[in-house]
Amino acid sequence: MLSTVGRWERCSRALASIQRRFGFTVFHGTEFRALRGEFEGWPAEKCFDLYMEFGQLGATHLTECFTVSLSYDTYKKHFLDCRPPKMPRTSQYGICFMGILDNLMRTVMDHGQQSKLSVVVEDGHKNAGDTARLFADRKSRLDAAGIDLLRSHELAKKACSPLLQLADISAHAHTHDKRAVKSGKAPDFSARPEQAPPPGQPGWTVSEITPEYLARIIDEHNSDRIARRDAYLSRRQAWLDRKATSSAP
């Protein structure tokens, strides 16, 4: 979920109002789908009304929404089975985070050099902590290229960062859509034509991690390894040259 600082502040106030009116403290997609916890006993009409309220919240305050998926077969065949032995074993979760981050960076850069990006990731998933490493890697690449774009990365609970609930409702909607595709009730995402969002409303980009994207991640690692080796050899040769010069009669 992408937005500006000012819009996020207004969105946070609007979300608090929704929570009071519907009588819940934190939206959890798994509990909402199963009608457990705070959503136990909710009638279908109330669930639908909350869903629509969240939709209006996003339409009013968001700049863009992204959802990314990666099948385990693609992950295993084109990443786990292909990565070099010393390459970090980034999880499916981590790969999806990279896909989201790349989409966010492209969108923010389109808004001009004055725009910067800070990222908040929900804490709790067993692989959420690895997103800090992946973010730092992307930031170091951009900094080395002289591109000032990425600012901060933060892990947070929904209770401390309530707007993470918006991401959960989007994931909830995406899950329903994928089930409809699997059952044949909806066309596959790749078969759907691209549509521009209505004027003044945010777009929703749905992506799937491809073998080509995974190959680029592996190529990046290999290129970095070669660059580090070349830099080491260059430093070593310079040290040897200095040593030979200092020991000359």
Residue found under tokens 């044949």: 184
pLDDT at residue 70 in the model? 92
pLDDT at residue 247 in the model? 62
- Other Cβ atoms less than 10 A from the Cβ of 99: the count is 22
The residues, ordered by sequence, that sit 6+ positions from 147 with a Cβ below 8 Å of its Cβ are: none
- Strand pairing category for 203-208 and 150-156: unpaired
The dihedral sign for the CA sequence 164, 30, 76, 103: negative
Range of the domain at 157: 5-247
Q: Are 139 and 115 in contact (CB under 8 A)?
A: no
Q: Show the tokens assigned to 186.
A: 């909806």
Amino acid at 33: R
The secondary structure element, H or E, covering residue 118 is strand 117-122
Q: Are 166 and 154 in contact (CB under 8 A)?
A: no
Instruction: Kindly report whether the global pTM for this prediction surpasses the value 0.85.
Output: no
pLDDT tens per residue across all 249 residues of the chain: 999 989 999 999 999 999 999 999 999 888 988 999 999 999 999 999 998 999 889 889 998 989 898 999 999 999 999 999 889 999 999 999 999 999 999 999 998 889 999 999 999 899 999 999 999 999 999 998 899 999 999 999 988 888 888 888 777 777 778 888 888 888 877 777 777 777 777 888 888 899 999 999 999 988 887 777 767 777 777 776 777 776 656
Domain count, the chain: 1
pLDDT at residue 248 in the model? 58
3-state secondary structure 138-166: HHHHHHHCCCCCEEEEEEECCCCCCCHHH
Q: Are 116 and 224 in contact (CB under 8 A)?
A: no
The CA angle 241-246-249, to the nearest 5 degrees, is 115
